[in-house]
Amino acid sequence: MSDNGISGLSSSFLKNSGQTPIPRTLKPGDVVLSAEAIQALKKMDILRLERNNKRDERRKAGENDVSEDEGEGLAPLITLVPSGEIPTDFGALEAQESEAPKLLFDDSKAALNSFQAIDDSIPSAIFFLAKNGISPPLIIFLPASLARIRSSNIKTVKHGTGESTKITVIDISDFPTEDGLDQATWCTTYNTFLTFMELAAGPKIFQGFASHYNCILSDPEFAQWFTAYRDFDQRLRARFFTQAFIIDCKTDEYRAALQSAKNSFLMSTHSSSSASSSRTTSSTAKGDRADRSKPYDRDSSRKKPMLCFRCGRTGHSAHTCEQAEPSRHGRQFVIFANREGLFRISDKRAVCMGYNCGRCDSNSRSHPIHICSLCADSHHGAADCTRN
């Protein structure tokens, strides 16, 4: 047998004539052997090649029951290095590789981006909020809020229960509430919200939100009812992100929910005006006490109680009224009430609560009718009714 191995055959372990060694760069995970182990494998490989050579001779002799040649086994997986060059410290090897300078900014990656003077993109953190059933508040669609999120200058919180507490989302409580949004800011943020919905939802869902927004702005009394519209929209969006649906502004459910928001707004303003009136009266009474020449009105400092627009009594609201008859004996109920509003008993038409509070002058055809909820007179509201 020659130094070059068995004639006509080659091996991964045996040097072939004319073969030029190809240097390899070792990496952690490569298999290397010592010189002694290599010699042992060489002997095993020579024997394997001899057995394969005998099989070849038997086939040429016409034998049919010759087994298949033996493969190289682990030979292709072994990295051979000269004796004395086997690395023992792969940490040092990694350090050597890390010394090679690497580009911080790759051309191929940079080519995928382009310069934008104004970044109008929606951060992925907002999409992640929606994905986890959290309604993104409109306040985070302000340019300043979006810039904070893009720069990661925000707090994060764990969301969910059990296993889902591993989910981390931006802390929306770190932003101001929507209650402080004025009309102009609300409209600005809503346009950006619609851009977000166009990217995040199907075309029908997006169109529903766009129609909802247009319905609000098309109301000639939008400015007067802004607070009610803002609260109604906030509740609608919160419900959507809990369980998605397609908004239809023409449904009775939509109109009833909107009317309920308007009624809540009127009730809050009615209570506020009553409290303000009470403070003014109390202040006047104090002035009267200072002027001993004027008689003292004992009732002037008392807080004006809430008037029920159904029965005419005080101390409760119309939708909680349980009285069996009106405050004035012999009179019949004009309206019935629930959380959606006031409605005339005779034809179930909506009755304007603002008019009965004494603060609505709308003449829109779609607006609830202007009649007194206590006596049905169209010339005054319940707050000014002299027949009660």
The residue among 67, 75, 77 whose CA lies nearest residue 44 is 75
| Amino acid sitting at position 257 | A
Alpha-helical runs (H) found in 168-326: 183-200, 203-217, 226-242, 252-290
What pLDDT was estimated at residue 196? 94
CA distance linking residue 264 with residue 353, whole number of Å? 10
Q: Dump pLDDT digits (tens) for 332-383.
A: 899 998 877 788 998 888 888 888 887 777 777 667 888 999 988 888 888 8
Indicate the domain borders of the chain.
1-93, 124-250, 260-384
What pLDDT was estimated at residue 156? 84
Residues 120, 124, 125: CA angle, nearest 5 degrees: 115
**Count of CB atoms within 10 A of residue 187's CB?**
14
Residue for token pair 């009474």: 285
Q: CB neighbours of 258 closer than 8 A, spacing ≥ 6?
A: 228, 229, 232
What pLDDT was estimated at residue 180? 86
pLDDT-flagged residues of the chain (< 70): 1-35, 73-100, 161-165, 269-304, 365-366, 388
Q: What are phi and psi of 232, to 5 degrees?
A: -60, -45
Residues 303, 306, 309: CA angle, nearest 5 degrees: 155
Q: CB neighbours of 208 closer than 8 A, spacing ≥ 6?
A: 246, 247, 248
Is residue 120 a contact partner of residue 146, using CB atoms and an 8 Å limit? Answer: no
Is residue 66 a contact partner of residue 58, using CB atoms and an 8 Å limit? Answer: yes
CA distance linking residue 227 with residue 272, whole number of Å? 14
* Mean pLDDT, all residues of the chain: 77
b vs e for 65-80, b when ≥16 Cβ sit within 10 Å of the residue's Cβ? eeeeeeeeeebeebee
Torsion of CA 203, 244, 221, 308, to 10 degrees: 160
Residue 201, CB half-sphere, CA atoms under 13 Å: how many? Answer: 22
CA distance linking residue 370 with residue 351, whole number of Å? 6
Q: Dump pLDDT digits (tens) for 64-105.
A: 777 888 777 655 545 555 544 545 555 555 555 556 577 888
Is residue 171 a contact partner of residue 214, using CB atoms and an 8 Å limit? Answer: no
